[in-house]
Amino acid sequence: VEYDPRLIGFRELLDIFWSSHDPRQVYGQGPDVGNQYRSIIFVNGTEESRIASVSKEQEQTRSRSSIVTTQIQQLGAFHPAEPEHQKFELKQNTFLLQLIGNLPEEELERSSLATKLNGYVAELCPPNIQKHIDAKINDIIKKGLVQELEMSQLHDSKYQKENQAYDFRTARI
């Protein structure tokens, strides 16, 4: 994760890290097993290493019944994940992909908007940002910039009737 420390601190990133996966799973996450799925924090320097170690100790005290398997390593050579893993959650949501213009793979990978929407679809963004994105999408639909979706076009959605919340994270057309 690249981040701007003027916008978010390393400690805040660690809080998100611990809350967004199970650091007690060995060698993977959920059904995904392998070296590339393990829980690991890459640090850039001794201060980040110290902060990460303290954070890991705090996480371990939250659950004494199992061991936090997260590793902490100095940042080295970085290789991007394979294309099928890039913006994975967003790629499962054809509605949002169409809304941003079905970007070519390379552009989708570099797009900061696609990154934000990927987090939104994965339910990893803060509630205030989720509400903001929901409102923007509702405005687009209300203005007629995209056709209103019908129930038969949706898969696993939480679409209700008019004036009720629509969960765009699960929409497919």
More confident of the two residues 155 and 167: 167
| Share above pLDDT 90 across residues of the chain, in percent, rounded to a whole number | 31
Asked whether residue 152 carries a pLDDT value surpassing 70, the answer given is: no
Do 43 and 90 lie in one domain? The reply is no
Do 46 and 21 lie in one domain? The reply is yes
Here the tokens at position 41 are 């924090």
- Determine, yes or no, domain membership for 1: no
Q: Which domain, by its residues, includes 125?
A: 84-170
Do 25 and 39 lie in one domain? The reply is yes
Give me the number of domains the chain comprises: 2
Residue 61's pLDDT band, with cuts at 50, 70 and 90, is: very high
> In the prediction, which pLDDT does 156 show?
37
- Residues 39, 25 contacting (CB under 8 angstroms): yes
Summarize the confidence of residues 29-54 as an average pLDDT.
89
> In the prediction, which pLDDT does 18 show?
92
- Determine, yes or no, domain membership for 166: yes
Question: What is the average pLDDT score of the chain?
Answer: 80
Prediction pTM value: 0.59
Give the DSSP H/E element, type plus range, for residue 47.
helix 46-62
> In the prediction, which pLDDT does 163 show?
35
Residue whose tokens read 């934000």: 116
Question: Cβ neighbours of residue 155 under 8 Å, at least 6 residues apart?
Answer: 170, 171, 172
